[in-house]
Structure 1
């Protein structure tokens, strides 16, 4: 396959040479390096005059390098990576700086701007069309671009109306039923008044094969429309106003996640092997779904009864999705920009933005192939904790809740469907509204001092819901063995409504031209952020697993009302005075735990820069610059976690700061045919915000880190070979977590991979999380009667186990058949696996036997995530002018390679993404006497299944890994015309 790809690529480059024979001698319009104008410093400048590491693409280079989405930028600029996220989001990384925080209140590490205005656009869905250019500014840009630009800024500039009537149309077809249509019309309406309208439509079939019988055979397709119009008016000789509206709509079966990786173990506390990868489902009792299925009498407590040893396809684009994915997204933006030069040598700019987005996504959660069925009813089975089925579900078929705003699910008749196996799906949805206004003043004095200063104010409000529905939870919730308790709600919900952000900023930069070739820049920004949040987490809130005693079966004993003011629902009980709602209201969990729901921050950041433009022999122009800048990203809320399980978790993360030092050199050589740019940088990061998943929720914390790197960019149009253009980028990056940094590893809470064998991992039968204790503590608690494992004595603290098993030096136990054989098991030396973590900790601590034991990993010196050490790109382009045939042919090939990188800070074997490469190529036939052109293009020609990122699920889901992939090979043809 690789040889075939190379042959195709080489043919794409040399074909025009054979066609034209002597084309080398012909003059070409594109000879030399084309000047690119950018507005990286809020004013128009040649990119080579900007003392910032900037990579920019104009309209022509976007087309020639097949840059169609934000994901494509990583192949064409140094130290950039991009990956989709697990919750309808994405992560754009510059120099290892990204959005590590997982929280509705978290800020991005890279700022995204449209026409120089910050916009929370849905970047991973967006397709480019009718752009003037895209600029990538690497390094902190907080002085001019605000608090979210610690990693850098991406500025997307829409094409503006002109005073020339013009239009274009483009039709594209390709593999997977790919169909794309783009069009643009520019109309001068009157003197000083022009309108530009552009749009895009994209449809294609899915990239993934769905192997589940009776469902759509392919998923992850696209059905997208987007359009915008811009009206520009010259209000006077010195003042121009521009209004832009844009719209984006998507309605298809886009899959947020695809391949899921797991090597099943027989250890109930671990669904998936902590260090190895396989193509199986997690063990049954390692998941909360498996546990509650056993409570409902639909499964045994055997580890392998759920999805374990279910062999999945090794094809990375093959999935089992019983539920056809649903993906709906929309975006609307309204932007008014005014620029005036009414005062001599002064430019005043103002922007006013209103922007809103929404997304709704549903899809299969665990890719279960359905082969492990629920047990049918067995009337001779009297033990509710042992398989045999339940009379309420005689055929082993149970309902699954559908999304409702109130989370009532099966209790109010909202049924998604009926299933005879452990089916699960999730819903990720949300909406956001933002308002923004800024005004700036910039000087162009003839003297040595100039400046830019301004202020901006913004308001942002969002709401979001993430639900996980699973058939076993619905079955347990309405199972008759729970009598009147009724576990409600019967699905997991993480809800924020609303999250509100108010932000103000004042900034100024002063430029002092000390000599003809030396300039000094000093800048500062004052930032103020106010955040508030109303959120909650729901799952079985009306009956909390806790200690206590009472009559009835073991489950009724184990499932107690954790707070006497909580009222079980649907059983006709009158609420006692002062009772809480059956489920906590938004922000109620924070209030009950004494956790603040708002905070504010005020910070000052700035930069100092020195530019030197020496007249060096051998160069056409040279710029040497040094910059020190201080970047800042505001803190964020942590979720309202249970303090009994998460002692010491901060209510908010601290703000993070970065001290960045950058030395750069930009050169134009060989009569404007060669550009050679070099940048070196060093970052000292304080309180970097990072995240991990523990017990169904994201927990964020702060660490210190260092980053350093080197970037080189080369653009060459050799005069000896007219029509040939070469561009190349290479980057080196070294990241390191600071010394004396420790963090709890969710995949190894008892430190077995650190060589510690004294701990024991317990699976919490109330929430599916895991917790660690010393073995000696548990043995002491059982021996002294502090911990109860006998259902006859009251509520169970643990469920005893029949045998001890080990995988990768991690011991655990098999809980199958334990309740009915407690007397036989006790004293055999096997420790229980399932228990109530909070109650065990309280009792063992009170008895002086020692509570939680969860040693933290020393991650000092580990690499940061999404930070490959080396990335490289090489582009070769050749244009042949067949003037005698009225035809111009351009061939181009692009090769990109990136080193391996980590997706978790623990740098364990499951965390690595191997190195990969991408080859793209195209041939363009363009008439020189008519407006038409044809492009034949190929992307990912080697058809590699390249992984861009991972997401590790919580212990409650068995800890399987979601992989995010690049698009497969696509080959197609584009027909277009410009008038």
Structure 2
């Protein structure tokens, strides 16, 4: 449930006590096979195959078998159990990956993500193409801290590397079937064949379907369901003993409802018939999440006497359509929907040389990529929802005009303010109140805009006002009443209002890098690496006035106000209809008063922008092996993310492009295998400086819009991971992470109406819990028949965190998750079956608040899955 942000430690202690009745754990551990010692995991984090425990980088590596046991289906699931990592995504087409508090929340195409996602060594430039089903996966490596040297740009927070299984030299077929509540149906078919002495093939076909876990009270469409299909094919050819040619291809289809976001405003919930974040919902905008994606790559690896040559050539593309209900309610006075259409193509080429001698390991590389994209954003309103927006803006600007003392209003939470605005709006719609009839809020908003833009003075001249009379001399309330002649009927009719912004991009990036590890002694290594990156971007933004306001005047005398506030005369105003309603009389053409939230006064906005950024990112690492069991390291590393462009709007005083990001991270780490490899203990302590982070925020007065600003931040934290093979049958593991972040500089967008009061200096970063704790235990025993039984449990507790950038007081409560699994494997290993339950205690957990709906006072929230249960069955032949 949603509670106040101030949670006592006593409450958290009680939550942790739920472990006393069950074996509970959750951790990103390496492998599930154990026999009184922990299995070695090989990773490629340093562009060469190495034992995880010998790599001086903080890495969480999760094998495919372990992900299956933990019920992990995607990267969002993985983030819940990985220390220092948050992936709280309600939609796979707009994911956000947060490593150690570093993330980019921009859902547009003007910027790049701060966490690099790689699939089989190929970088995915857009988040909409990064979330792939984790079926037939060898492992996932999560590298924490800036990885600018080895993984290049856009790895300021870290890198996530998904490695799929390669074809093997055998003939195997595996069928995995999953069924569960809410209509859950998943099928994975894996076929591997040896086609000749040196040619092997592998095909994977996966489907995943699930119904929504709640009903729509307001329509026949659903939200929050799943429906994906993924097909992979790969060929491995070994023309010589020293050469390997690996071709991979993947095609994916997604066709489902988008995120289930429900209003948290009590008045709106009641008007929707009792909708609730944790019960049934009420949406009036059909939700759509469609994607067709294709990717292929060719990896050639050749071993020579002194080095290994690797070439990775890749091409990928996708078409995506994401449509969402932004207000989380079916109230027609709050109708607000959005749609994003994306087309992307990406080509990349990397050449790499790896070599090693007795005292030196080295890597040299060249890379180039080009990304071409188109992005269209549509926003859907009605004239009624514009009135709701104007009421909320008016209430925030002057609560005393609505009878609310400023001191009382200042003490309200954001949700309470939104609820008050909804009550006022409901009263207006029901018949109005003397001071605020229907349409008055938009009329007030429009009149102030006309005065600010100078159009009100032009209108007075058109009406024949005497020389010297300006809009500033007119009684404001009387002029607002004049405008209501046209606007009030328009508001009550809920006229559709749609706005569109179109972007194109052509991004090129080239880099050269080198990384060298010297063995200074038998126990001490020194690693020095550097990468030079050059980025060029061409970008366009296009928008125009697509809607008009029915400007009309009621007619009558309007008071003229003198400098001292007294009435100095009257100005006769003729009744003037809009041309849209009465062309037979003198009228005011509505197109003169076109308005768009994106254009900021520019009738036809079209900009062609280009910019370039370059950077040298480096790392220096000193590691020391105290003995065969313990290694420590000290690392100084840098990360770089290219700058970009504001995708939505041009505004005077706001630079259309923004600066690049830079992160410098100092880290001290420990990796150890103790007690004859029965205990694995890894730890890291780090501190980083984050310069020019790119922060997307909804700002602007009186019309809000999305802008990317630059800010600085810092973070300090620690991570601890423990794995203990307690016996031949019992494996116990856990991890803990602690992180403190804060803004140290925050760019104030004065052109968007911000003041120093809007600064977030000293506030923590969004989406970053201070503490995170996981436990894991797995018990494995044999039956008399030779079959094997595995009991497993996963437990996670995550601290509270700030939910939205624009409101640091809106906090997502701490939560706990408990997953349980009972598995059986036949003696022949041909058959496997399992019963499982996720969120076993059916916790009501909010994943996030806010979003664009907060602009009109209708902030929604989305929840984690309720209790999910089901069964898996696997047959191998």
Change (3 A) 1:461 1:885: same
Counterpart Cα distance in 1 of 2:806 and 2:208: 40
Q: Deviations over 1:6-58 (max 9, x none)?
A: 999957789xxxxxxxxxxxxx9643101100000011001000000011011
TM-fit CA distance, 1:604: 1.1
Q: What SS is found at the alignment partner of 1:77? A: coil
Change (3 A) 1:41 1:857: same
TM-fit CA distance, 1:704: 1.2
Change (3 A) 1:443 1:544: farther
Q: Which residue of 712, 720, 734 maps to 1:704?
A: 712
Q: Is 1:856 matched up with 2:757?
A: yes
Q: What SS is found at the alignment partner of 2:615? A: strand
Match runs of 1:135-146 below 5 Å: 135-146=141-152
> Equivalent residue for 2:360?
449
Q: Which residue of 688, 693, 710 maps to 2:693?
A: 688
Contact 1:862 1:907 in 2 (8 A): no
> Equivalent residue for 1:418?
none
Q: Which residue of 236, 239, 243 maps to 2:243?
A: 239
Q: Which residue of 276, 290, 295 maps to 1:328?
A: 290
Contact 1:102 1:700 in 2 (8 A): no
> Equivalent residue for 2:825?
926
Contact 1:744 1:855 in 2 (8 A): no
Match runs of 1:369-768 below 5 Å: 369-370=330-331, 423-446=335-358, 448-472=359-383, 491-540=497-546, 553=575, 556=578, 597-615=609-627, 620-639=628-647, 641=649, 643=651, 647-694=652-699, 695-718=703-726, 721-738=727-744, 741=746, 743=748
> Equivalent residue for 1:394?
none
Change (3 A) 1:704 1:667: same
- Structure 2 residue runs of 5 or longer lacking an equivalent are 2-10, 26-32, 387-438, 443-483, 554-570, 582-588
Counterpart Cα distance in 1 of 2:123 and 2:872: 33
Q: Size of the alignment, in residue pairs?
A: 735
Q: Is 1:316 matched up with 2:328?
A: no
Change (3 A) 1:312 1:467: farther
Match runs of 1:819-858 below 5 Å: 854-858=755-759
TM-fit CA distance, 1:922: 0.1
Counterpart Cα distance in 1 of 2:92 and 2:139: 29
TM-fit CA distance, 1:65: 2.1
Contact 2:277 2:861 in 1 (8 A): no
Match runs of 1:6-17 below 5 Å: none
> Equivalent residue for 1:938?
837
Match runs of 1:280-299 below 5 Å: 280-281=267-268
Q: What SS is found at the alignment partner of 1:630? A: strand
Counterpart Cα distance in 2 of 1:508 and 1:334: 27
Q: What SS is found at the alignment partner of 2:67? A: helix
TM-fit CA distance, 1:317: 3.9
Further displaced range: 538-547 or 49-58? 538-547
Contact 1:78 1:731 in 2 (8 A): yes
Counterpart Cα distance in 2 of 1:322 and 1:686: 41
Q: Which residue of 796, 799, 805 maps to 1:899?
A: 799
Contact 1:259 1:317 in 2 (8 A): no
Q: Deviations over 1:309-336 (max 9, x none)?
A: 7674335242112344333212111111
> Equivalent residue for 1:127?
133
TM-fit CA distance, 1:108: 0.5
Q: What SS is found at the alignment partner of 2:644? A: coil
Counterpart Cα distance in 1 of 2:867 and 2:99: 26
Q: What SS is found at the alignment partner of 2:65? A: helix
Change (3 A) 1:666 1:687: same
> Equivalent residue for 1:338?
300
Contact 1:185 1:197 in 2 (8 A): yes
> Equivalent residue for 1:248?
252
Contact 1:184 1:197 in 2 (8 A): yes
Tell me the TM-score normalized by structure 2: 0.77
Contact 2:719 2:735 in 1 (8 A): yes
- Structure 1 residue runs of 5 or longer lacking an equivalent are 15-27, 263-278, 282-306, 373-420, 560-566, 572-581, 750-770, 772-851
Q: Deviations over 1:675-695 (max 9, x none)?
A: 001100000111111121133
TM-fit CA distance, 1:194: 0.3
> Equivalent residue for 1:886?
786
Change (3 A) 1:516 1:587: farther
> Equivalent residue for 1:150?
156
Change (3 A) 1:856 1:206: same
CA RMSD of aligned residues (A): 4.0
Counterpart Cα distance in 2 of 1:692 and 1:568: 31
Q: What SS is found at the alignment partner of 2:150? A: helix
Q: Deviations over 1:678-735 (max 9, x none)?
A: 10000011111112113352111111111010100000002xx321001101000010
Q: Is 1:191 matched up with 2:197?
A: yes
> Equivalent residue for 2:395?
none
Q: Is 1:76 matched up with 2:84?
A: no
Counterpart Cα distance in 2 of 1:886 and 1:87: 42
Q: Which residue of 64, 80, 92 maps to 1:59?
A: 64
> Equivalent residue for 2:771?
870
